[in-house]
Structure 1
Amino acid sequence: MTYTLATTVSLPWAEALERTREALAAQGFGILTEINIRSTFEAKLGADAADAVGDYVILGACNPALASRALAAEPEMGALLPCNVVVRRNSAAESTTVEAIDPQTMVQLSSAPSVKDVADDAGTRLRKALASLGQADG
């Protein structure tokens, strides 16, 4: 099973990160958390580990209306929130990859019918956000 939705853009990493934030906001997602893997690796594992992973940020994106519906359907869904969106590029790359957890993963783990509706809506919004990055490219 594929568990991410992804796009690759020929934008510089910092620009791809900023445009990802904007694209998610346009689809009703706020950023609850931001984890800079590169700086964490550098602090905890050293420069070699940071260089090996490259520029790598995990954005914890949340659409409050969708999260509310998911939690009302099945409170355990909170373990899968927020939706993680990764913006990454290693030093040798000429493009930046942006990928998000596919909300259909929730459907695989839940028997609640309303979770499918939430996952469908979230998936549509995440696909639109990723598609808009490709349109902004170049």
Structure 2
Amino acid sequence: MSYYIAKTVSGEFDDVIARVTDALKAEGFGVLTDIDVAATMKKKLDVDFQPYRILGACNPQMAYKALSIEDKIGVMLPCNVIVQQTDKGVEVAAVDPVASIGRVGNPALDDAADAVKAMLAKVIERV
């Protein structure tokens, strides 16, 4: 089982970031964190890295549901979505919550994981 959902799209990197953010909003997610990996690699290691951002996305209703079932599930939140420049275009990938939350071993989380996976798949499809 893959641990992510991905798609490569055409367009300028910053435009794809905007499209991803809009698609996340349309599915009820907000972006809590935005990590510029390339800038961090340059600053901390003085190395050049392809444009690469990690967006920490959260759907408050789904987060509340999961936290109500399993209080330690916060270690797996928010849902990370990456946007990276590749030779073939701009890749957008999201964590597969079924794969990650399935490792917790609490079947009460299965419905929430399935719902979040469907939402993130729509985000990837929409971009």
What TM-score range do you get, normalising by the shorter chain? over 0.9
Q: Counterpart of 1:19?
A: 19
Deviation at 1:111, TM superposition (A): 2.8
Structure 1 runs not aligned, ≥5 long: 134-138
Q: Sequence identity of aligned pairs in percent?
A: 38
**Aligned runs of 1:55-94 on 2, under 5 Å?**
55-90=51-86, 93-94=87-88
**AA paired with 1:18?**
A
Q: CA RMSD in A?
A: 1.1
Distance 2:79 2:92 in 1: 13
Matched, 1:108 2:102: yes
Q: Counterpart of 2:31?
A: 31
Q: Counterpart of 1:136?
A: none
How many pairs does the alignment contain?
Answer: 127
- What per-residue deviation string (whole Å, max 9, x for no partner) do you get for residues 71-126 of structure 1? 11111111000000000004xx2400000100112342223222111101100100
3-state SS, counterpart of residue 54 of structure 2: strand
TM-score, scaled to structure 2: 0.95
Distance 2:123 2:52 in 1: 19
Distance 1:78 1:107 in 2: 11
Structure 2 runs not aligned, ≥5 long: none
Matched, 1:120 2:119: no
Moved more, 106-115 or 26-35: 106-115
Matched, 1:42 2:38: no
